Amino acid sequence: MQTFIHYFLHFGFPVIIAYLFFKNNWKKIALLLLATMLVDVDHLLASPIFDPNRCSFGFHIFHSYYAIGLYVILLFLKRPYNIIGLGLLLHMLTDFIDCLFMYNACSSCLENSPAKNLLEPISKLLF
């Protein structure tokens, strides 16, 4: 279920957001939101490139708290930058939700995760 939710939020949810809130331009907006998936290029800088027990939120450079702050600033700029900011923040939210799933399945797996201090209280609140 975690995998389905993760990929739905990455690929399906942006299309739904585009359709619901940008009806006149929804296809173009959907493509722009989906293009923000390129933020995952920072995974190529990690070793190993893929680790199923690694929380990317707060770990990779484009998934860092500083980068997320920049994505929030993008929301206040004109198009297309605000759309890009929205897509990047949706991506970060999706990855954070994925980290919550991982944390609840194996909290010790994320012992060294930069997001652990954020995951603990939210996990206790939700679960």
Domain boundaries, the chain: 2-126
- Extract the tokens encoding 113: 């995760």
**pLDDT-derived band at 103, boundaries 50, 70, 90:** confident
* Per-residue pLDDT at 110: 78
Read off the DSSP letter of residue 1: -
- Measured CA distances, 30 to 12, 25, 75, 80, 84 (Å): 10, 9, 16, 12, 11
- Extract the tokens encoding 19: 């359709």
Tell me the residue type at 15.
V
* Per-residue pLDDT at 127: 78
Contact 119, 103 (CB under 8 A): yes
Q: Give the Cα separation of 98 and 9 in Å (integer).
A: 10
- 90-99 mean pLDDT: 94
- Extract the tokens encoding 103: 């944390």
- Would you put residue 113 in left (φ > 0), alpha (ψ -120 to 50) or beta? beta
Query: What tens digit of pLDDT does each residue of 20-62 get?
Result: 999 999 999 999 999 999 999 999 999 888 888 888 988 899 9
